[in-house]
Amino acid sequence: MICNKSDIDNLHDNGFILLKNVLESSQIEKIKKIIISNPEGKGVPENIYSTSFKSFLMKSIKVEFKKIINSLYFLHLKNQLKLDSYTSTFFNQKSKISQIDGYHNQKQESEILPWHCDQSYSGAKIVKKIKSPDDFGLKFFFYLTNVGPGNGCTSYIPGSHKIAYAVRSCMYEKKIEYQPYWSINDFVNLVNKKKYYPLIVDKLDSQEILNEFLQKAQNVILNKKTDLFDFSALPGDVLIFNEGGFHKGSKPTKNRRVVLRYIYKKILK
Ligand SMILES: [Fe+2]
């Protein structure tokens, strides 16, 4: 996978990029076969692959040899695609793989996940320790099936990662008190608070960027069926995105959705 400067610039500016034809057809078939042999849905232990020595050791003890072979294959694939070097260029420092997983969802009429941002404590009511705003992941979503507007694509609001970063920074610096902001509605309510809005403008050094985001956010809140931020991708394409921005997993209404994910994080000092 070629990492060029304009991709990295786009990732920093918009929070995401879509690269076409990254996987070969034999790789697509092999990966798809592995993933659909596991239970449906995200977060199922069977769908998470080993990335650490400890995890490989545990799998050896449990005699899960098939899982070991598949994990080795996915590690080999990331090396072949030079994902480590890609993310280190993005973060401008060394990064590490934090998770490899793959999952599938049947054709359905409900969203896989509504508009939300990651690194938001899953919307917890109370959070004791606020993490550094730099503690966020870069995610690679390899599509193994067709996705498109209203059909399983991971819609993303361009530039929203900058607003979420500013909010996380203000919370870390104790300028803003924590309140749940996982969902886009909660996040907009927080940003619009009279006492917080100027602090976020100050952090962004731009009122225009914040207002542009609020307009886009209002659009998706009021118009649930909008496909304004959707895109089409074919098996073998990859969406790379900053997980801090607002995204959603749209309904796979036309066909089953199968994805392989690599999640990377910056090594924080
Ligand atoms: Fe997410």
In the three-class reduction of DSSP (H, G, I as helix; E, B as strand; rest coil), residue 93 is classed as coil
Under a CB-based contact definition with an 8 Å cutoff, are residues 261 and 100 in contact?
A: yes
How far does the centroid of ligand 1 lie from the alpha carbon of residue 240, in Å? 12
Q: What are phi and psi of 116, to 5 degrees?
A: -160, 170
How far does the centroid of ligand 1 lie from the alpha carbon of residue 158, in Å? 15
pLDDT of residue 109: 85
How far does the centroid of ligand 1 lie from the alpha carbon of residue 51, in Å? 20
**Cα–Cα distance measured from residue 122 to residue 114, given in angstroms and rounded to the nearest whole number:** 13
How far does the centroid of ligand 1 lie from the alpha carbon of residue 62, in Å? 31
Neighbour-count burial for 38-62, b at 16+ CB within 10 Å, e otherwise:
beeebeeeebbbbbeeeebeebeee
Angle between helices 25-36 and 65-80 (to 10 degrees): 150
How far does the centroid of ligand 1 lie from the alpha carbon of residue 65, in Å? 30
pTM for the whole structure: 0.94
Which ranges constitute the DSSP H helices of the chain?
Answer: 5-14, 25-36, 53-61, 65-80, 83-91, 160-172, 184-191, 197-204, 207-222
pLDDT of residue 3: 76
CA dist 3 to 9, 82, 83, 261, Å? Answer: 11, 9, 9, 18
User: Domain holding 192: CATH number?
Assistant: 2.60.120.620
pLDDT of residue 134: 94
Range of the domain at 15: 5-266
How far does the centroid of ligand 1 lie from the alpha carbon of residue 236, in Å? 21
Looking at the 3D structure of the chain, how many domains does it have?
1
Per-residue pLDDT in tens (0 to 9) along the chain, 269 residues? 877 899 999 999 999 999 999 999 999 999 999 999 999 988 888 899 999 999 999 999 999 999 999 999 999 999 999 999 999 999 999 999 999 999 999 988 888 889 999 999 999 999 999 999 999 999 999 999 999 998 988 999 999 999 999 999 999 999 999 999 999 999 999 999 999 999 999 999 999 999 999 999 999 999 988 899 999 999 999 999 999 999 998 888 999 999 999 999 998 87
How far does the centroid of ligand 1 lie from the alpha carbon of residue 68, in Å? 27
Under a CB-based contact definition with an 8 Å cutoff, are residues 51 and 100 in contact?
A: yes
How far does the centroid of ligand 1 lie from the alpha carbon of residue 247, in Å? 6
**Cα–Cα distance measured from residue 69 to residue 50, given in angstroms and rounded to the nearest whole number:** 10
How far does the centroid of ligand 1 lie from the alpha carbon of residue 243, in Å? 6
**Cα–Cα distance measured from residue 201 to residue 206, given in angstroms and rounded to the nearest whole number:** 6
Question: How far is C-alpha 261 from the geometric centre of its chain's CA atoms?
Answer: 9
How far does the centroid of ligand 1 lie from the alpha carbon of residue 187, in Å? 14
